[in-house]
């Protein structure tokens, strides 16, 4: 009992400390001062009256949403003796692996810098600043020479690192035992099986039909759809984050999606937020970073070539360039196993007052990074709101897809979950693919690292990301990957090489996410 009480007070103290730095705190204070004018606020019962006023005027709800947001993002406070690196990642060998992976990335970036003789950062001359400001909304028309740049790494390089991840205290012998990992991932993390995954799913029970019912029952599905939309509008009117998160587990109507996501992520476009975005834009105009060229190259290689996303090319530059300058992203490294790269001002090597992070947000983009932003462009058209939503999605979910950690939503656990689901529920398929040298993870890894962006049709992708927000977990990516393999199992059993297997699974754009998941979760288990 004592322990729980002290844990609770520790959590409360942590959340209060965080919220004190937010704009909500200032707003609440101003509202409290303004409310003193109201007749119902009496001096004798000041505290109670102001609390009542907050409840009626909706400010209490805003505070509730902010607290709920903090609880969803920040991990619970750990043991007082645990050092900060333990909060980032509890397992020592994973921390080491992440450290050496980061070192490789830094070496690669440094060598690119010296080979091309381009500085990591450069202050733009005034003429260039004016020019960039003028074409801010059409940076896509620019055709800089990017042939010498290459992406720092691609998902397949990262996969090789994960394949070689080993726990030094684990029996990694050659002899087969009951726990030999037949897949590519060789670390014994705990992953869920289908009954456990469904238990998480309990709130959105199978009794409530999903949105996508087969066309033959059109009128029936329309009735459910209208009811669903009505409930969604009610949730939005209440402005309650927790309720919105529960609601979106059954998918979101297209018209309400943008507002629902903003409510769940606790994003409201205040004037300060727009001002903050403008400040980031100024930073982009003043300084030119090497990372900018990497972003340009990535957008040109991936999003610009995609049938759905090429129209949003300019938006992508506007979001990603500003993202690189945003120091508030550094806060997420407290619970991310990765660490931001560090450097010193020229001539001041080793002096801590001149130590800076590079890029300012600590995140080095890799090949395909811009695909995290592209689907959001369908929902948000105002750059500062689009930016805020992307930043929040990144610090809650996407960072886990490219750092080595033991977290259940981390990419290592997702890979192991995928392989385990396939082995358990489709053992023949798994065995066949393994025999022909086509380990399934080699094909599905790129889908999971990009959260299926660029592989699924956009409307299906957004339905998938609805569930990620609803369950606050990325495990559904692994389940969908296994479901895709299950769906194409018949064809896959006939292939005889990795290339042929890749060909069978090359095009996912016709797949419908929810029926696939339902078949896999409810029908495959017999």
Q: Does 20 bind other proteins (CB under 8 A)?
A: yes
Q: Which of 63, 213, 301, 330 binds other proteins (CB under 8 A)?
A: 330
Contact region with other proteins (CB under 8 A), list: 81-89, 208-216, 424-432, 450-458: 81-89
Contact region with other proteins (CB under 8 A), list: 56-64, 217-225, 257-265, 335-343: 335-343
Please report how close the Cβ of residue 187 comes to other proteins at its closest, in angstroms: 7
Residue 346's Cα: distance from chain center in Å? 34
Contact region with other proteins (CB under 8 A), list: 170-178, 228-236, 370-378, 433-441: 170-178
Please report how close the Cβ of residue 190 comes to other proteins at its closest, in angstroms: 4
Taking a C-beta distance cutoff of 8 angstroms, is the pair 398, 374 a contact? no
Please report how close the Cβ of residue 194 comes to other proteins at its closest, in angstroms: 17
Please report how close the Cβ of residue 298 comes to other proteins at its closest, in angstroms: 19
N-to-C CA span, the chain: 43
Q: Which of 125, 188, 427, 437 binds other proteins (CB under 8 A)?
A: 188
Taking CB under 8 A as the criterion, which residues in 395-414 touch other proteins?
Answer: 406
Residue 426's Cα: distance from chain center in Å? 29
Q: Which of 187, 258, 462, 501 binds other proteins (CB under 8 A)?
A: 187
**DSSP summary character for residue 18:** H
Query: What is the spatial distance between Cα 294 and Cα 112, in angstroms, rounded to a whole number?
Result: 11
> Which is closer to other proteins, CB of 167 or CB of 254?
167
Q: Which of 31, 149, 331, 512 binds other proteins (CB under 8 A)?
A: 331
Query: What is the spatial distance between Cα 158 and Cα 152, in angstroms, rounded to a whole number?
Result: 11
Taking a C-beta distance cutoff of 8 angstroms, is the pair 337, 401 a contact? no
SS3 per-residue string spanning 229-273: HHHHHHHHHHCCHHHHHHHHHHCCCHHHHHHHHHHHCCCCCCHHH
Tokens of 270: 């205040």
Please report how close the Cβ of residue 432 comes to other proteins at its closest, in angstroms: 27
Q: Does 189 bind other proteins (CB under 8 A)?
A: yes
Q: Does 3 bind other proteins (CB under 8 A)?
A: yes
> Which is closer to other proteins, CB of 406 or CB of 524?
406
Taking CB under 8 A as the criterion, which residues in 120-149 touch other proteins?
Answer: 120-123
CA distances, 278 to each of 237, 273, 447 (Å): 30, 9, 34
CA distances, 389 to each of 172, 281, 323, 472 (Å): 43, 17, 11, 15
Q: Which residues of 315-333 are buried (b: 16+ CB within 10 A; e: fewer)?
A: bbbbbbbbbbbbeebeebb
CA distances, 329 to each of 77, 192, 393 (Å): 20, 30, 11
> Which is closer to other proteins, CB of 130 or CB of 190?
190
Please report how close the Cβ of residue 106 comes to other proteins at its closest, in angstroms: 5
Q: Does 363 bind other proteins (CB under 8 A)?
A: no
Q: Which of 15, 91, 163, 504 binds other proteins (CB under 8 A)?
A: 91
Q: Does 33 bind other proteins (CB under 8 A)?
A: no
Q: Does 488 bind other proteins (CB under 8 A)?
A: no
Q: Does 230 bind other proteins (CB under 8 A)?
A: no
**Cα four-point dihedral sign 474, 443, 251, 401:** positive
Please report how close the Cβ of residue 291 comes to other proteins at its closest, in angstroms: 11
Q: Which of 24, 97, 109, 376 binds other proteins (CB under 8 A)?
A: 109
Q: Does 38 bind other proteins (CB under 8 A)?
A: no
> Which is closer to other proteins, CB of 323 or CB of 465?
323
Please report how close the Cβ of residue 215 comes to other proteins at its closest, in angstroms: 44
- Identify the CA nearest to 477 among candidates 520, 415, 524, 523: 415
Within 8 A by CB and 6+ apart from 332, the residues are 394, 395, 399
Tokens of 244: 């919105």
CA distances, 474 to each of 54, 289, 414, 464 (Å): 35, 32, 8, 10
Contact region with other proteins (CB under 8 A), list: 260-268, 345-353, 473-481, 503-511: 345-353
Q: Which of 110, 217, 270, 497 binds other proteins (CB under 8 A)?
A: 110
Q: Does 73 bind other proteins (CB under 8 A)?
A: no
**DSSP summary character for residue 521:** I
The reply to whether omega before 359 is within 30° of 0 (cis) is yes
Query: What is the spatial distance between Cα 209 and Cα 187, in angstroms, rounded to a whole number?
Result: 38
Query: What is the spatial distance between Cα 156 and Cα 161, in angstroms, rounded to a whole number?
Result: 9
Pairing of strands 355-357, 287-289: unpaired
Q: Which of 55, 96, 107, 130 binds other proteins (CB under 8 A)?
A: 107
Residue 447's Cα: distance from chain center in Å? 14
Q: Does 300 bind other proteins (CB under 8 A)?
A: no
Q: Which spans of this chain sit near other proteins (rule: CB under 8 A)?
A: 2-3, 17-18, 20-22, 78-79, 81-82, 86, 90-92, 103, 106-107, 109-110, 113-114, 119-123, 167-171, 177, 179, 187-190, 276, 279, 283, 287, 325, 327-328, 330-331, 341-346, 349, 353-354, 356-358, 360, 406
């Amino acid at each position: 009992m004592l322990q729980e009480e002290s844990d609770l007070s520790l959590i409360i103290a942590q959340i209060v400390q965080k919220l004190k730095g937010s704009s909500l705190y200032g707003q609440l204070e101003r509202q409290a001062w303004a409310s003193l004018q109201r007749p119902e606020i009496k001096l004798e019962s000041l505290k109670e009256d102001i609390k009542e006023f907050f409840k009626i005027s909706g400010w209490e709800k805003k505070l509730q949403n902010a607290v709920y947001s903090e609880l969803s993002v920040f991990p619970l406070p750990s043991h007082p003796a645990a050092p900060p690196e333990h909060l980032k990642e509890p397992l020592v060998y994973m921390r080491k692996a992440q450290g050496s992976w980061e070192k490789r990335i830094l070496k690669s970036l440094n060598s690119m810098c010296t080979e091309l003789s381009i500085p990591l950062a450069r202050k733009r001359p005034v003429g260039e600043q004016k020019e960039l400001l003028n074409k801010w909304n059409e940076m896509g028309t620019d055709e800089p020479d990017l042939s010498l740049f290459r992406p720092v790494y691609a998902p397949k390089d990262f996969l090789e690192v994960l394949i070689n991840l080993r726990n030094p205290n684990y029996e990694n012998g050659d002899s087969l035992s009951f726990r030999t990992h037949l897949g590519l991932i060789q670390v014994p993390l705990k992953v869920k099986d289908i009954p456990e995954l469904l238990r998480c799913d309990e709130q959105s029970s199978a009794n409530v039909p999903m949105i996508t019912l087969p066309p033959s029952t059109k009128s029936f599905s329309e009735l459910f759809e209208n009811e669903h939309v009505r409930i969604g509008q009610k949730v939005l009117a209440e402005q309650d984050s927790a309720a919105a998160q529960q609601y979106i587990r059954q998918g979101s109507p297209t018209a309400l999606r943008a507002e629902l996501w903003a409510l769940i992520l606790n994003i409201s476009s205040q004037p300060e937020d727009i001002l903050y975005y403008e400040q980031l834009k100024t930073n982009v105009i003043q300084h030119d970073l090497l990372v900018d060229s990497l972003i340009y190259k990535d957008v040109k290689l991936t999003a610009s070539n995609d049938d759905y996303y090429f129209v949003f090319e300019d938006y992508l530059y506007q979001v990603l360039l500003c993202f690189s300058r945003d120091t508030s992203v550094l806060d997420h490294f407290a619970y991310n196993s990765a660490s931001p790269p560090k450097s010193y001002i020229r001539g001041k090597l080793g002096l801590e007052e001149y130590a800076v992070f590079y890029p300012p947000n600590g995140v080095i983009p890799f090949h395909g990074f811009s695909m995290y932003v592209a689907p959001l462009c369908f929902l948000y058209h105002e750059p500062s709101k689009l930016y805020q939503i992307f930043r929040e999605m990144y610090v809650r979910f996407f960072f886990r897809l490219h750092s080595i950690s033991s977290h259940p939503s981390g990419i290592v656990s997702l890979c192991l979950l995928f392989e385990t689901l396939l082995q358990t529920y489709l053992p023949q398929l798994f065995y066949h693919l393994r025999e022909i040298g086509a380990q399934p993870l080699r094909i599905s890894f790129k889908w999971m690292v990009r959260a299926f962006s660029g592989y699924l049709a956009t409307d299906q992708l957004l339905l998938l990301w609805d569930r990620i927000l609803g369950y606050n977990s990325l495990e559904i990516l692994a389940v969908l990957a296994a479901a895709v393999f299950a769906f194409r199992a018949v064809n896959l059993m006939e292939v005889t090489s990795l290339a042929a297997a890749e060909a069978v699974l090359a095009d996912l754009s016709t797949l419908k996410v929810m029926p696939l998941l339902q078949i896999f979760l409810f029908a495959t288990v017999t």
